[in-house]
């Protein structure tokens, strides 16, 4: 968008991406979808998250920008509403090879170049004085957030057996619990409603039935993946802060980490709540950010989520952080890469300091 309509506009005469400010309780993903609709009249078919750009300015308040790109088909692009942003600027699609010739902020040239080169994680701290870029620092990965089920610990046996136990209470027979691997990763309510078509009340009842077996038995039907202790120990020694962000109830996460003597590696553990107020991966990540952003304003920009399913990657996209997939869990590596994961690790030994420094 060419900002050529507003008076007293800091961006006057500059080309910038469409977007805007958060509304109350919005996630970054919700915000960008709403803003793109309001300013262009179209809904992006798929969002790819790239990183967070921090702007420090001696003339204006500091800001942070969540950087997304979107896949838009020719058909959808043809429906753009040129009048949607008439109060702010002139809308136009620009070819990749023409972007560098536009009147851009100096810092925008930095991250746009990275995007055009296909870099998967793009986070910068940009400092301006009197409208000029004086410092451009890459924001390194400092906070590593691990999913639990299917990433650190193979909890599949307990989850699948308890899912079968709950389904059988509704007359749904399961001949082989291994057929229920799709229960590992997403919130239980999601699977009971979307996969089986139960209404929310019945889904909640099935979750209670699931926990009837899981709490005393199923929680212990699991084992850590090979190399987990070595991976966590090496990352801590390199100075990374480690966290757990899981859709599993938080008290269960802590119980398992204590059981396998892994708790001391983590700076904090966030999970779902039994009342359902925190349930999805996005909500878990938002809770983790709430706890730590005040003490570390760049917490999200220096964070990356490691997970094994599309629900992890989608949660990261929606919340506005980078992600890394693992192939040894319960999801599809191809699906995670297609959604925008920075890469796929085939073992925990591959998740090391060298990998994060390369991002």
Residue ranges of the domains in the chain? Answer: 28-138, 143-152+224-358, 156-220
Q: What is the CATH number of domain 156-220?
A: 1.10.150.240
pLDDT reading at 265 higher than 90: yes
pLDDT reading at 75 higher than 90: no
Q: If pLDDT is split at 50, 70 and 90, which confidence band does 325 have?
A: very high
According to CATH, the topology of domain 28-138 is Nucleoside Triphosphate Pyrophosphohydrolase (3.90.79)
Maximum Cα–Cα distance for the chain, whole Å?
Answer: 70
Q: Which residue has the tokens 């910068």?
A: 124
pLDDT 10s digits, 231-264: 999 999 999 999 999 999 999 999 999 999 999 9
- C-beta of residue 272 within 8 angstroms of C-beta of residue 278: yes
Give the pair of three-digit tokens for residue 254: 């802590």
Q: Among 73-82, 141-150, 295-304, 330-339, which is the least confidently predicted range?
A: 73-82
- What average pLDDT does range 106-127 have in this prediction? 96
Among positive and negative, which fits the CA dihedral 279, 291, 250, 357? positive
Quickly list DSSP for 32-49.
Answer: HHHHHHHHHS---SEEEE
Beta strands in the chain (DSSP E): 46-57, 63-71, 124-129, 132-138, 143-146, 153-154, 223-224, 241-249, 268-272, 303-307, 322-326, 344-345
pLDDT 10s digits, 145-163: 999 999 999 999 999 999 9
Q: If pLDDT is split at 50, 70 and 90, which confidence band does 77 have?
A: confident
First to last CA, the chain: 29
pLDDT 10s digits, 268-323: 999 999 888 999 999 999 999 999 999 999 999 999 999 999 999 999 999 999 99
Rounded to an integer, what distance in angstroms lies between the CA atom of residue 300 and that of residue 320? 7
In the chain, % of residues over pLDDT 90: 88
Residue 259 half-sphere exposure, CB side, CA atoms within 13 Å?
Answer: 14
Rounded to an integer, what distance in angstroms lies between the CA atom of residue 350 and that of residue 164? 34
Q: Regarding the domain with residue range 143-152+224-358, which homologous superfamily does it belong to in the CATH classification?
A: HAD superfamily/HAD-like (3.40.50.1000)
């Amino acid at each position: 968008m060419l900002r050529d309509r507003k008076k007293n506009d800091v961006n006057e005469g500059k080309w910038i991406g469409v977007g805007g400010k958060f509304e109350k309780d919005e996630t970054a993903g919700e915000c960008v979808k709403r803003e793109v609709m309001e300013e262009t009249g179209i809904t992006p078919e798929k969002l790819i998250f790239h990183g967070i750009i921090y702007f420090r300015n001696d003339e204006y308040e500091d800001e942070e920008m969540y950087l997304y790109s979107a896949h838009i088909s020719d058909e959808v692009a043809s429906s753009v509403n040129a009048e949607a942003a008439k109060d702010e600027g002139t809308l136009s699609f620009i070819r990749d090879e023409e972007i560098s010739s536009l009147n851009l902020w100096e810092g925008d040239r930095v991250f746009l170049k990275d995007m055009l080169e296909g870099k998967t994680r793009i986070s910068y701290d940009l400092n301006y004085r009197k409208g000029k870029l004086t410092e451009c620092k890459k924001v390194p990965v400092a906070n590593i957030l691990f999913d639990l089920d299917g990433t650190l610990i193979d909890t599949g046996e307990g989850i699948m057996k308890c899912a079968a136990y709950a389904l059988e209470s509704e007359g749904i027979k399961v001949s082989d619990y291994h057929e229920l691997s799709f229960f590992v990763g997403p919130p239980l309510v999601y699977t009971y409603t979307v996969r089986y078509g139960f209404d929310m009340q019945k889904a909640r009842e099935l979750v209670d039935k699931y926990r009837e077996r899981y709490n005393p038995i199923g929680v212990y039907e699991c084992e850590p993946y090979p190399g987990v202790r070595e991976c966590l120990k090496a990352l801590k020694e390199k100075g990374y802060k480690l966290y757990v962000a899981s859709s599993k109830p938080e008290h269960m996460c802590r119980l398992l980490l204590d059981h396998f003597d892994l708790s001391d590696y983590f700076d904090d553990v966030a999970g779902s709540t039994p009342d359902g107020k925190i349930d999805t991966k996005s909500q878990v990540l938002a809770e983790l950010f709430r706890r730590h952003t005040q003490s570390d304003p760049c917490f999200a920009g220096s964070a990356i989520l490691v997970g094994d399913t599309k629900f992890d990657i989608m949660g990261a996209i929606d919340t506005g952080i980078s992600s890394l997939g693992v192939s040894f869990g319960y999801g599809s590596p191809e699906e995670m890469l297609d959604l925008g994961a920075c890469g796929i690790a085939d073992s925990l030994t591959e998740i090391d300091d060298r990998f994060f420094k390369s991002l």
